[in-house]
Amino acid sequence: MNNSDTKWSADGKTIPEIEQHTKTKHLLTEQYVTDLIYTLHRTGRRGVTNFTIIDGFSGGGIYNDRESNSIWFGSPIRLINAVRKGYLKSERTYPLNVKFIFIDKRKEHLECLKNAAMSQAGLEQLSDEQQHTFKSEFGERTEQCEFITDEFENKVNYCIFQADNRKGHSLFFLDPFGWSDVSMESFRKINNLNKSEIIYTFMIDFIKRFIYDPKWQARDTFAKVLETDGYFDLNHFQTLDTFGEQAEFRNEFMRLFRSRGNAKKIITFAMMPKNNDRVLYYLFHICNHLRALEVMKDGSWKFNNLNYQYHYDIYGFGFKAALFYEDNQLDLKLDINQDSQTACIHRLSKDLDKIIHNSPNGISFQDLCNKTMERNPATRQQYFEYLSFLREAKEIEVIRKGKKTNSKKLENGDIIKVSPQPILFNMRGYIS
């Protein structure tokens, strides 16, 4: 929820209308959480069994959808359902224990969530804040919801304590009203948890109206809350309406998150109205581990042809992934009128070829991914496909446990080396 005018009545009779960009954000997040539970719960002999999921700005959990003339469930309902889908998909027999914490500063919003939204979603049993255990052919699933009426900033330490005390994995879904609702100190605390991640909305459409105004009264607050001293050279910004300014602003935010928010991995999406070049807000996915970033990419491609826009380097329909903040190349366009797969591989070749050639002793697949995954929209499978192409072209060889391998599915420890007698890389035939 990111509109301060969005309101729900306690009885659920007054609910806001859902906007297209919010629907897309909900679908992307729901898909990601499903895939995350599936991936982590089934990892190894006994995967992750404890999850703590915090929705820091939950709202009332239900909207009117004019497009379909029906109701649309908000993030709390979708988070619960996504966990259940991921658990069933994993088909593992050991238990899953999940605690959901829903926070909103308005009591009537949480009352709407508990009494109207959860009831219509068939989740009313979870409204009592007690633990509930559900048995199935795959084992037991324990769920508990906690509802807190307060500002998220006032409950950050409590949420971190809960996540740390419960162990396992934690996800913070933060869709605030404005830029001042989550401080850089809070980001830093969350990122310092060993197994945590954040999905965060930043409303650039709101702040662009003020940031270039030298008389902006909240300028000092902006610098204090987000610790921006030394960042965002405001002399570069005029209106934040041009691509160059928006890209620079986004890149500075990523740099800020890395250095002062202790973010290890970041991927971004820019949400834009249909047929409009104006970025409404950036969706940041911040995580500690490469696998979480890979899972987010996998899910994002499933929405490639929605009539809604993401932003990578320049505007266009379709999937656009993160621009790594040190990379200044602005030459990739993916849209529904071209082969996104081809464009993605084209970008991937630029990221990988130079690194491989500059590693005479070889580089592990894991290191290659760590160096490049934030630079391009490619999934792990697309890495496999591109590296297989290079191997078939005899440009590279892959060494696994001291021996060459032709496996199409690479392992993290595999060493990728330039072939002893390589042909000069020429991707034109592959990417045309």
pLDDT, residue 234, reads 60
The pLDDT-based confidence of 90 (bands split at 50, 70, 90) is confident
Domain ranges across the chain = 20-303, 340-431
Return d(Cα 143, Cα 84) in angstroms, integer. 10
- pLDDT classification of 432: cutoffs 50, 70, 90: very low
Q: What is the reported pLDDT for 214?
A: 72
Can you give the pLDDT at residue 278? 67
Q: How confident is the model at residue 423 (pLDDT cuts 50, 70, 90)?
A: low
Whether 20-303 and 340-431 share one fold: the answer is: no
> Percent of the chain having pLDDT more than 70?
80
DSSP per residue, 80-120: HHHHHHHHHHHT--S-EEEEEEEEES-HHHHHHIIIIIHHH
**Phi and psi at residue 282, in whole multiples of 5°?**
-100, 135
Give the pLDDT confidence of 391-405 residue by residue, as tens digits: 999 999 999 999 999
Q: Is the pLDDT of residue 326 over 90?
A: no
Q: Mean of the pLDDT values across residues 225-244?
A: 75
Place of tokens 């809350």: 225
**Which 8-state DSSP code applies to residue 394?**
T
| 310 pLDDT tier (thresholds 50, 70, 90) | very low
**What letter represents residue 100's amino acid?**
F
- What is the pLDDT at residue 24? 82
- Determine the 3-state secondary structure of 65 from DSSP: strand
Q: Give the pLDDT confidence score for residue 236 in this predicted structure.
A: 60
Q: Which pLDDT belongs to residue 305?
A: 42
pLDDT, tens digit (0-9, with 9 covering 90-100), for 189-212: 999 998 999 999 988 766 766 766
- The second-level CATH assignment, the architecture, of 340-431 is Orthogonal Bundle (1.10)
Q: Mean pLDDT check: name the lowest of 51-55, 211-215, 247-251.
A: 211-215
Query: Phi and psi of 396, rounded to 5°?
Result: -135, 165
How many Å apart are CA 15 and CA 6, to the nearest integer? 8
- Higher confidence at residue 422 or residue 386? 386
**pLDDT greater than 90 at residue 367:** yes
pLDDT at 319 over 80: no
337 against 197, higher pLDDT? 197
Average pLDDT over the chain, rounded to an integer: 83
User: Both tokens of residue 240?
Assistant: 């934040």
The whole-number pLDDT of residue 248 equals 76
Please give the Cα distance from 271 to 206 (Å, whole number).
Answer: 13
- In contact, 395 and 418? CB cutoff 8 Å: yes
Residue 284's SS3 state is: strand
Give mean pLDDT, residues 320-325.
Answer: 34
CB atoms within 10 A of CB 115: 17
For residues 353-370, average pLDDT: 94
* Interatomic CA distance for residues 67 and 306, integer angstroms: 14
pLDDT at 235 over 50: yes
pTM surpassing 0.85?
A: yes
How far apart (Å, rounded) are the C-alpha atoms in residues 39 and 244?
A: 37
Q: Which CATH superfamily is domain 20-303 in?
A: Vaccinia Virus protein VP39 (3.40.50.150)
Q: H/E element holding 198?
A: strand 196-202
Please state, in angstroms and as integers, the Cα–Cα distance from residue 294 to each residue in 264, 377, 418, following that order: 14, 10, 25
Given this model, what pLDDT does residue 132 score? 97
- At residue 364, the pLDDT reads 97
pLDDT at 116 over 60: yes
Task: Give the residue with greater pLDDT, 386 vs 90.
Answer: 386
What pLDDT score was predicted for residue 348?
84
Q: Label each residue of 331-369 as H, E or C.
A: CCCCCCCCCHHHHHHHHHHHHHHHHHHCCCCCEEHHHHH
> CB 82: neighbour CB atoms within 10 A?
23
DSSP state, residue 408: S
Q: Which residue has the tokens 């309902």?
A: 77
Q: Could you tell me the pLDDT band of residue 330, with boundaries at 50, 70 and 90?
A: very low
413 and 364 in contact (C-beta within 8 Å)? yes
Least confident of 73-82, 134-143, 268-277, 358-367: 268-277
The predicted structure's pLDDT at residue 46: 75
Q: What is the average per-residue pLDDT within 411-426?
A: 80
CB 408 within 8 A of CB 365: no
